[in-house]
Structures are given as structure tokens and as C-alpha cells.
A = this chain, B = another copy of it.
């Protein structure tokens, strides 16, 4: 074992592959599926969708038996508990402890936290996850009970949707997702999505701030500001474009697009502008260290504020009285471009096979890549090749950004040779 030197990001990938394949076999167990035979491809698709907390489906979740649904729920929970925790546990399992090199790796990923805080964070993630999910489940059960479900059903739905929402998984036991549910359910789900999507770093930092005071980290301020602005922006666009959408649904849809994936309205009837807005929200996604996907709020914030500041002629990017290193800015741009490249390439591949509208296919692929799970109905109609492309997108979208950031950090090198600067003409 000692000679096997794997880079941190390969641990991440291996963990997810094992989890997905194990999940697909569990879903093939007789008695997990109630509508005839589940093909292995569909089991693999469902397992990938659950582990990558995407929520895209090729068969309705209601077609699984309670046993099958609980397998899906466990896969969601394991997948969502976070890249960090998961790889940490694997390390601990393999080496019997969280060794220094790994602790350094985690500290490097988080970047903003000191080395001594790493172990605290890991314990904190687990504790925090279960407390929130527990409270969510109670309120949701109440909501479902009010809507004329039996107490048993209400509790089951409550637990399932609490975990699914907090993990930003978007799986629902209902074929119409949350269309037609009451306001208690919609608002609780919204709250769980936000708490799950804001990222553990922020929660941890806020907790510390309120307990012992001091200064909030730049990361925390950026995440809170960006999340708030994005929710408002999405809500406003939907309000203008979709005249018959009510306030709660507009708000819900704005929150869920960045990356939960539940829906309370029929998406296919939306105007192109709303579909495009949803695509942008899906691309941005949740915050780092969260259960959500996308390029992440911080990445988006850094690129946008760099652009506005550069346009104003400034050459140092300062936000909240802190200077952002050029290195971080370039990484943010690189991440976004690579992400868009994968997104568009996958879309074009699918358009080569299937005859759909570009925007709708882009919607479906972005939903997979950003592990959102919203669908215009294309996914269920795909054949084998298409399903495999979507599976690849879900996997890449979940593991990719974190693996990429780890890889960039791991490869950091200093140039020994210095070259003179020379400009080129732009524009």
C-alpha cells in the first residue's frame, strides 16, 4: 500500500466510481424495482444520478419499491456527504488515521482554513448534515400530513424529501416532483436547498463568528452575497417573463435551479428566455464544499468582479478590502471555460445523434453536468448512447470541478527561467 502513490484527486474519482457501481448492483437486487425488469443501464443511470446528487431519471422513482427507494436515498446521502468527508474516510479506513499529508491536502483544498481546523470540519460536516435533515424531516412530515397523507406516508415522504432537498439531489417519490404541493413544503424545501448548497465552509465560519466573534472570512462574504443576488436575479427574470407564475413558484424555481432540481411548475411550457436563465443558474450552481454542482458561486463572483474592475481600468482585483491573487482569478476563468467546453461538446455530440432543438439539448446536458436534475423530458427518451453521455456528464460534473482544483493545486510549480514581458494588441 505504501508504494502506491495516488494523487488526491484520483482517490476522489475511485471512491465515486466504486460507489456508483456498487449502487447499480444493489438496485438490480430482485424486489428493488416494481415494474418488471430494470435494465443494467437504467440501474447504472439511476445509481449515478443518486450518487452524483443529480436527480435526472430514466424511470420514475415511484417505480422502485420502498426498498429500492431507500437504496437510492442511501446513495444520495453517501454521495452528498461530500467529496471531502468521503475521501477522508477512505484515507482513514485505509491508513487507520487522517495522516498529515492528507490533512495538508484538505487544508489546501479549503485554502481558507488553517491546518489545525481540518479535523474539526470533518466532524462538523457529519453532525451538521444530520441535524438539519432531522429538523427538515419533521417540518416536511407535518406539511405532507396536512395535505391528507396518512401519518406513516407523511413521515416517509418527509424523510425522503428532507434528505433529497438538503443533499440537493432533486429525487422525489412523486412523478410530478413537487408540482401542486402546499406552501409549507415548498418553503421548507427551499430552506433545505439553501442550507445544503451554501457549503460547509460558510456554515462553519458563520458558526464560529456567532460563537466567538472575529472577522468573517472573505469566502463567506462572497458566497452569501452571490447566493442572495442570484436568487433575486432569477426571481426577477421569471417574474417579468412568465406572467402567470406566482411569487412562491418564481422564488422556488430560482433557488432550485442552482442545483437542487425539484420543480413546482411544468418546465416545457416556459419561454426560451426563462429556459436560458435556468441554464445560466444551473451553470453557476451552488457553493464550494456543498452538496451542489456547477462552477460554483465563488468562481462566478470572482470572474464577474474581475471583469467589471478591469473594465474600470483597475489592475488589482479588490473585493471587501481584500486583494484576490491573480492565480485564483485565472483558475476561476479556466474552470468556467473548461466547464462550458464540456457542456457544449456533450450537447453537440447528442445533437449529432438525436434531432432536438439546441437550447433544449443544452438545457438537458447542463442539468446533468451541474447535477441539477431539471428536465425538459429529453432524458427519458434517450437510447443507450444518449444515456451513456448523460451518465458521463453527471459524473464529470460532480467530480470534475473539485478534482480539477485539487489537480491545479497539486501541480503548482514555480518557473525557474524568467522571460521578458511583451504585450499583444487586443480588440
Contact = CB atoms under 8 A, between A and B. Distances in A.
Given A337-B307, A351-B272, A405 B422 contact: no
A373 interface: no
Contacts of A351: 272-273
A164 interface: no
For this chain, the copies found in one complex come to: 2
Given A357-B357, A425-B298, A311 B326 contact: no
B420 A273 contact: no
A28 interface: no
Interface in A315-350: 315-318, 321-335, 337-338, 344, 348
A165 interface: no
B415 A222 contact: no
Contacts of A276: 344, 348, 358
A312 B218 contact: no
A299 interface: yes
A426 B405 contact: yes
Contacts of A327: 310, 315
A415 B412 CA distance: 28
A330 B334 CA distance: 12
Chain A interface category by residue count: 35 or more
Given A272-B348, A334-B307, A112 B423 contact: yes
Contacts of A324: 421-424
Interface string A278-292: 000000000011000
Interface in A199-229: 199, 201, 217-219, 222
Interface of A: 109-112, 199, 201, 217-219, 222, 241, 271-273, 276, 288-289, 295-296, 298-299, 301-303, 306-307, 310-318, 321-335, 337-338, 344, 348, 351-352, 357-359, 401-402, 404-405, 407-415, 418-427
14 contacts: A112-B425, A201-B425, A219-B425, A272-B351, A299-B427, A301-B424, A302-B426, A315-B327, A322-B421, A322-B422, A323-B420, A328-B424, A335-B426, A357-B357
Given A273-B348, A307-B337, 13 more contacts: A109-B425, A111-B425, A112-B425, A288-B425, A288-B427, A295-B427, A298-B424, A302-B426, A313-B410, A315-B414, A315-B415, A324-B422, A331-B426
